[in-house]
Amino acid sequence: MLYTHLGRTGLKVSRLCLGTMNFGPQTDEPAAHRIMDAALDAGLTFFDTADVYGGWGGQPEAHSGWTEEIIGRWFALGGGRREKVVLATKFYNPMNNPVDGPNDAHGYSAYKIRRAVEASLRRLQTDHIELYQMHHIDTHAPWDEVWGAYEDLIAAGKVVYAGSSNFGARHLCWAQQAAAGRHFLGLVSEQHRYSLLTRQPELELLPSALELGLGVIPWSPLAGGLLGGHALDGRGGERSAGAAANLDDAVRSRLARFHELATDAAVSPANLALAWTLANPAVTAPIIGPRTPEQLAEALAVPQIKLDADLLKALDEVFPGPGDPGTGADPASERATAPWAYAW
């Protein structure tokens, strides 16, 4: 496994990040534990989750917080598991907690930040979180309120670093400007949707993060499974099958050409898509979300894959960057760079 610094910090993380959103709804607890053990054995030490994960999937036991509980029980097994992991989790969404009443809502007031972190710490069975991320932008909470709450958590040893997710470039700038005024480190990372099929972040988000010294952690680097290799032949997962059903002929043609390039390069389509994200200097580690230990084992080769200039050029021809009519991005439009233009 290869490692790099998380943004401008001194913290080193693996160049792949283990995403845990499948744990619970799609991957049962024993399999999730095996995946996390295998990740650690391979040197993959950067784990990402969120307080809301586990609250979908249709099972009777599904509930927000389920995934963090699974990780917490894995930590409790001991053997240095917690000590070896750089743990990232997120908050912002409602948790269906009636005690919080109207404050159980989207956002991150100081009230919510304090209660959310305490709840995550209980579920995760740990006393600290290395990277505590805002899951989306909250346009109502002033940065002095947010950073004041984070400063208290860091001083108490409950949080080490602050991160964001689904922010726009301007939000990163505003956050860092406010942090600088408080002589506070502010954000160290941005978790963002980015893949060969979602290149709009190249307009402003990635350059801004690079200039600000923030590590970018791409989520959905396989575009919901469409770049994973089986979306077009019906052998993909539930998410990729649903996404593939709505593809137009132009995108299907691009995916078919992409699979040909992967075959020519002697790598799987999934690994080619992941390696492409790592080739961008703004990217710290793409999030992989294996449902099985076998899927994890395949992805572990990604940090060692080097893409030559000819292959990168060919990928650009298949999946042009922002401004190409096929991407749906209009560089002249403010909406093109807003997080809600291509995120949730």
Active site residues: 53
CA-closest candidate to residue 50, choices 74, 30, 21, 75: 21
Q: Which of 10, 22, 11 is nearest to 287 (CA)?
A: 22
Asked if residue 43 lies in contact with residue 85, where contact means CB atoms within 8 angstroms, the answer is no
In sequence order, the 6+-apart residues with CB closer than 8 A to the CB of 156 are none
- Tokens representing residue 114 in the block: 């304090």
4 three-class SS: strand
- Tell me if 86 sits within 8 A of 45, measured CB to CB: yes
What is the token pair recorded at 225?
């499974």
Order of all β-strands in the sheet with 86-91: 215-219, 187-193, 159-165, 129-134, 86-91, 46-48, 17-19, 287-288
Separate counts of helices (H) and strands (E) for the chain: 12, 10
- Structural contact between residues 67 and 23, judged by C-beta atoms closer than 8 angstroms: yes
Find where tokens 């292959």 sit.
311
Q: Is-contact 269 222, C-beta < 8 A? A: no
